[in-house]
Structure formats: structure tokens, C-alpha cells
Amino acid sequence: MAGELDGKVAVITGAASGIGRATAMLFASEGAKLIVADKADGVRETADMVKDAGAHAAPVQMDAGDEGDVKSLIQTAIDTYGALDIAYANAGIIGSLSGIFDDDPENWEQVLRVNLIGPWLMIKHAGKYLADQGRGGSIICTASVAGLRSGAGGVAYSASKAGVINLVQVAAQQLSTANVRVNAICPGLVETGMTGFLYEAVRKKGKEDRIGQLNPLRRGGEPSEIAEAALFLASGRSSYVNGHALVVDGGLSSSHPVSRQPFGQMAI
């Protein structure tokens, strides 16, 4: 049976673990040939996992916020497989959790460089190739529910992810004549390499059951659940979805904060 991505070539950044690795495995299972990229050594393990599953993947160690590295990444996909169809700018860092008055410019510069300039560079270089080749394509960027409103991340992180949401909207307009779709995914709380320290801190306190307690589903998300959203946006099933920020958070952002009441009673 044909996969959703048969014959497609995809690049995925932030692929050494978490959402990026889960997406790589899912894309590969659906027939895509992959270039998996990350600054961390784990990207080689991701590529090996894909190949062990009988699919195609080549690893690239690179800095997602460096223009030369991103340009080289796109060229590697073209040189390796002769094409590019899907670009997933997933790499990101959490940065400092300090408040506005305790944060520093160095943290902001680094967070914005990776989280916002990185996706822009992917759109710039992958988008140019996708437009020029005339086949169209899909570009996906990982944003966050922290980019929607306060309460889900540090100041610089939240601002960077809000920027990603606006970036995909602008890019979708500017690539509108090239049949290149540009969308974002806004994950809620998901256990990844970036958020692992938060999960571990809660577990050490014996309060693991409280993870995701403000979420209607009362749990955190899994990387595989975000990967499913990425597959939707990468595939033809989302052919009329463009310039959109797809929220995948179990319902966390569907409400303003309220005190929990027994079922059937309304908080006033």
C-alpha cells in the first residue's frame, strides 16, 4: 500500500530526539526519503533508526540558526536525492525562564537566532528551491502555544514562537503564486529533550500525576502526536491548509485559566 509521502524528499531539523526524531520515523514509514539535521550527535542515531526500519535517511550536523548551514542542508537534499518537497524547521531551544526584568540580551539573541531566524532561513532557502522547481511543496515550522498567549514559556521563547506564527502567515502570502504551502504547529506540553528537565523536576518531587493537570486531557503530549500533525501538513491531505498555526495541545489553549470545579458545576 502506498504511503502518504511516497516519492517525496524531506528535510527535518531538530531531528536528534523528541518531535524531530518521531517525525523522521513517521515520514520514513510513509515513504519519504530524509535528510535529518541537528546540532547534536543524536541525529546520526536517528538516521540509523530510519535506515534500520528499511527507509532512506542521511544525517547532517548543523546549526539551524546559521545561514550557511541551512543553505548547505537544502543543497545536501538536492545532491543526495535530486529533489526537495518538504522542509520542516523544527529545531528550537527553550532559553532562560527568567522574567522580563531578570532576562538578558544574550539569552534573547540566542533564542531568537535559533527559534525565529532559523525558520526564516529554512523558508528562505527551501522556499526558493520549491518555488523555482515548479512542483510546489510544504514548509512546516514548529511554533508553540507559548506563541499564542502568556503562561506557556519564558519571555524570549514565547516572543520567538509568536514570531514564527506571524512568519508563516507572511511567507504563505509571499509564496502564494508558487504552490508552496507554509504552516506552523503549536505543540502544548510535550516531553522532549528541551522540556525533559521540567518533567524530571516534577518526577523527583513525586508529582508526575500533576503533569498536564491544567489540560482538558489531563496529560502531557507525546512526540508522536506532534509528528502526526506534521505528517498531515506535509501530505496532500492538507492541500487547502496554508498560513495556518495548527494547535496540538490537548485543549490547553481552548480556555482562559479557571479554578477546577466538580463535573457539571461552573466556576464563577
What is the C-alpha to C-alpha distance for residues 14 and 192, in angstroms, rounded to an integer? 11
Q: Is the dihedral of CA 74, 75, 80, 84 positive or negative?
A: positive
pLDDT of residue 207: 63
Angle, alpha carbons 17-197-210 (nearest 5°): 110
What is the C-alpha to C-alpha distance for residues 187 and 205, in angstroms, rounded to an integer? 25
Give the lowest-confidence range in 84-88, 176-180, 214-218.
Answer: 214-218
pLDDT tens column, 121-177 = 999 999 999 999 998 999 999 999 999 998 888 999 999 999 999 999 999 999 999
**Cβ burial 212-247 (10 Å sphere, 16+ → b, else e):** bebbeeeebbebebbbebbbbbbbeebeeebbbbbb
- The grid coordinates listed for 253 are 489553549
pLDDT of residue 191: 75
Give me the mean pLDDT over the 77-105 stretch. 95
What is the average pLDDT score of the chain?
Answer: 91
Q: Is the pLDDT at 267 greater than 50, yes or no?
A: no
Banded model confidence at residue 211, pLDDT cuts 50, 70, 90:
low
Banded model confidence at residue 214, pLDDT cuts 50, 70, 90:
confident
Give the lowest-confidence range in 26-40, 222-236, 254-268.
Answer: 254-268
Is 44 within 8 Å of 34 (Cβ atoms)? no
Q: Please tell me which of 7-16, 91-100, 248-257 the model is most confident about, judged by mean pLDDT.
A: 7-16
Is 83 within 8 Å of 67 (Cβ atoms)? no
Banded model confidence at residue 204, pLDDT cuts 50, 70, 90:
confident
pLDDT of residue 198: 65
Q: Which residues are catalytic?
A: 157
Identity of the residue numbered 237: R
Is 87 within 8 Å of 63 (Cβ atoms)? no
**Domains located in the chain, CATH noted:** 9-193+222-250 (3.40.50.720)
